[in-house]
């Protein structure tokens, strides 16, 4: 259950209080026209996708036990060039289609249908915002996504069906560029450590000046430049953090924190807004896309798995892939994330 919201010592100036009732009242007022969101992996954990940093269930804690030079190596471009197998093993587990959007994703579609959503900035690569029905032009996938892919050398786009087939085949095939004389490695357009963020991200940052409300959900706010977006809204714009734990620096009078699971807090907020039935109806609709995908991948309906089970499975598969790779290539890459990370995407 969520802790009651609280903010800095000063009384809020724009909101009437620091609880969900006051937030809902503000959202329904004429003063609140442009809502901006910042999302992180925590909005997708209830879909069964592990985040990076939650102790125990986070991917990093689990990858740490594998024979990787460092856990982040799976998402580091220098390491990928030397050894793409760990990333593709992980990609197989995380590939879009297996996971259903959460109630929090459906809440975003409601913000849109109530003409409140200006932009949803997301760090997530799972495309669950789109699958929940949020229009593509409202989403900025700051760290890219699995939606498109290209050769890392000549940048030629690669066919979506072909990469899906390669990734999901029993024995993962590492996709290679089909241009004559290139044959470079193909990678989904996910931003790795060591790569720049999409132009669209940089272009849309200036819109934050128009924000009447910023809601930050399910992120540790440790990856920059994304994390610094919280400082780019106007000084008098209320900022709301919905997260399991307290993160970032929320000390302004109209900063409000709700600590707990985002699906629970979003439901409470929807109750205050009178949107609870709409939330359930919107979430109900998300089932269809998942079923279609499951059929496409010829998967039997799976029993519900906990995030712990999912992480254990991913780690085991990765362990297996690394063992196979060890046999093929005795020489282990030895780069460290600090050698290659560029200022664009840093922790």
- Which residue numbers are catalytic? 143
Report the nearest approach of ligand CNA to the CB of residue 42 (Å): 2
CB-nearer residue toward ligand CNA: 156 or 306: 306
Report the nearest approach of ligand CNA to the CB of residue 222 (Å): 6
Report the nearest approach of ligand CNA to the CB of residue 113 (Å): 23
Report the nearest approach of ligand CNA to the CB of residue 183 (Å): 28
CB-nearer residue toward ligand CNA: 92 or 143: 143
CB-nearer residue toward ligand CNA: 231 or 245: 245
Residue 303: how many other CB atoms lie within 10 Å: 6
Binding site for ligand CNA (CB under 6 A): 40-42, 44-46, 49, 51-54, 58, 123-126, 143, 218-220, 222-223, 243-245, 247, 261-262
> Measured between alpha carbons, how far is residue 284 from residues 55, 111, 136, 289, 339 in Å?
31, 17, 20, 11, 46
Report the nearest approach of ligand CNA to the CB of residue 28 (Å): 24
Task: Say how far apart CA 97 and CA 117 lie, in whole Å.
Answer: 25
CB-nearer residue toward ligand CNA: 32 or 74: 74
CB-nearer residue toward ligand CNA: 40 or 253: 40
Please identify which residue in the block is written with the tokens 């442009």.
Answer: 34
CB-nearer residue toward ligand CNA: 63 or 177: 63
Phi, psi of 152 (to 5 degrees): -75, -15
**Is 182:215 a contact under the CB 8 Å cutoff?**
no
Residue 171: how many other CB atoms lie within 10 Å: 6
Report the nearest approach of ligand CNA to the CB of residue 293 (Å): 16
């Amino acid at each position: 259950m969520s802790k009651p919201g609280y903010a800095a010592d000063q009384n809020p100036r724009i909101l009437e209080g620091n609880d969900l009732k006051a937030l809902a009242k503000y959202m329904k007022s004429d003063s609140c026209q442009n809502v901006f969101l910042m999302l992180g992996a925590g909005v997708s954990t209830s879909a069964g996708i592990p985040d990076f940093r939650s102790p125990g269930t986070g991917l990093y804690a689990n990858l740490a036990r594998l024979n990787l030079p460092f856990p982040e190596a799976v998402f580091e471009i220098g390491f990928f060039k030397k050894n793409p197998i760990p990333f593709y093993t992980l990609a197989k587990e995380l590939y879009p289609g297996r996971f259903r959007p959460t109630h929090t994703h459906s809440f975003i579609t409601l913000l849109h249908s109530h003409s409140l959503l200006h932009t949803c900035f997301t760090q997530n690569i799972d495309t669950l915002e789109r699958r929940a029905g949020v229009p593509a032009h409202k989403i900025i996938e700051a760290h890219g996504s699995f939606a498109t892919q290209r050769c890392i050398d000549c940048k030629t786009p690669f066919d979506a069906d072909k990469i899906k087939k390669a990734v999901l085949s029993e024995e993962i095939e590492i996709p290679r560029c089909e241009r004559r004389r290139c044959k470079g490695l193909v990678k989904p357009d996910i931003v790795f450590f060591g790569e720049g963020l999409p132009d669209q991200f940089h272009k849309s940052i200036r819109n934050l000046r128009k924000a009447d409300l910023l809601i930050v959900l399910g992120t540790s706010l440790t990856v920059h430049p994304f994390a610094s977006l919280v400082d780019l809204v106007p000084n008098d714009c209320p900022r709301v953090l919905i997260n399991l734990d307290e993160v970032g620096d929320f000390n302004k009078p109209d900063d409000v924190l709700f600590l707990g699971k985002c699906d629970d807090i979003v439901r409470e907020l929807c109750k205050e807004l009178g949107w609870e039935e709409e939330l359930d109806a919107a979430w109900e609709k998300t089932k269809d896309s998942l079923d279609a995908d499951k059929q496409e991948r010829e998967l039997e309906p799976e029993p519900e798995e906990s995030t712990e089970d999912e992480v254990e499975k991913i780690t085991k598969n990765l362990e297996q892939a690394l063992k196979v790779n060890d046999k093929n290539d005795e020489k282990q890459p030895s780069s460290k994330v600090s050698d290659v990370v560029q200022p664009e995407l840093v922790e």
